[in-house]
Amino acid sequence: MSVAIKVEGLKKKLRMNQALDGCNMHFSAGSLHGLIGPDGAGKTTLLRHLVGLLHADSGKISFSSGGKAADFKDIRPGMAYMPQTQSLYPDLSISEHMDFFRDLYRIPEDLYQKRRAELLQITRLDKFTDRAAGKLSGGMYKKLGLMCALLQSPNVVLLDEPTNGVDPISRREFWDLLYRMAEQKILIIVATAYMDEAERCAEVHLLDRGKTLAEGEPSQVLKKNHAKSFEEIFLRREGIKA
């Protein structure tokens, strides 16, 4: 069932930092969304609210499934969250990680074997199943984390800077993987500080200092802000000419 999320007036203070300051966003169902902003913009804090790890000081998050209002408790089992710092075990192989998450999610064996084969093929990790996570390249490590999250066949996928620190080829391969996921009409939200990745999304949501700057289709956001690039929009916020 297709899931959509609406964020209204979300505020959250973390110690002395106003991490979210009246954030408003709408993530439409079945689309690849880019949550775009520099370090410290509030991206991670927002994702943690969406997945229920943090609770707002004020404002609300509402969910819908199939066009009808839905409770978070009914949506949460179908959500997959990939944090910026992944909790993988360096001594466990790719195969052992997948077996571990199979047991964690209680996936039936026949479904698991099918899903495992599909994920290994599309990530091109099928030839490295015996390699320990601690010996994987940065790109391969990120793919393993995504595979473990996708084993449960989620309706919503939240990714916190999944391409941060990986080489350009791995970045391109990771986005190819996201496009394949998007074809299944999964709601995908990718948080990134890479401005060039904004144009790869169906919809973008610009966030800075906890506030929403703009959202919509990439070309329309640029046109509305009279900007040639997303970097230009953020530079203006700092009083810098692009």
Q: Kindly state whether residue 228 falls inside one of the protein's structural domains.
A: yes
Q: Kindly state whether residue 125 falls inside one of the protein's structural domains.
A: no
Q: Kindly state whether residue 92 falls inside one of the protein's structural domains.
A: no
Which among 48, 50, 41 has a CA at the least distance from the CA of 20? 41
Q: What is the pLDDT of residue 96?
A: 96
Q: What is the pLDDT of residue 153?
A: 84
> Using CA atoms, how far apart are residues 170 and 70, in angstroms rounded to an integer?
36
Assign residue 13 the CATH number of its domain. 3.40.50.300
Q: What is the pLDDT of residue 138?
A: 86
68: domain range? 3-85+155-237
Overall domain count for the chain: 1
Q: What is the pLDDT of residue 241?
A: 60
Q: Kindly state whether residue 185 falls inside one of the protein's structural domains.
A: yes
Q: What is the pLDDT of residue 181?
A: 86
Residue 192 gets the label, from left (phi > 0), alpha (psi -120 to 50) or beta, of beta
Q: Kindly state whether residue 95 falls inside one of the protein's structural domains.
A: no
Q: What is the pLDDT of residue 240?
A: 64
Q: Kindly state whether residue 33 falls inside one of the protein's structural domains.
A: yes
Q: Kindly state whether residue 91 falls inside one of the protein's structural domains.
A: no
Angle at 190 (CA atoms; ends 164, 4), nearest 5 degrees: 170
Q: Kindly state whether residue 218 falls inside one of the protein's structural domains.
A: yes
Q: What is the pLDDT of residue 168?
A: 86
Q: What is the pLDDT of residue 152?
A: 86
**Stated pTM of the model:** 0.91
DSSP assignment of 146-198: HHHHHTT--SEEEEESTTTT--HHHHHHHHHHHHHHHTTT-EEEEEES-GGGG
> Using CA atoms, how far apart are residues 161 and 172, in angstroms rounded to an integer?
14
Are the beta carbons of 179 and 31 closer than 8 angstroms? no
Q: For 98-136, what is each residue's pLDDT tens digit?
A: 999 999 889 999 999 999 998 998 888 999 999 999 999
What residues of the chain score a pLDDT lower than 50?
none
Tokens encoding 115: 């899903």
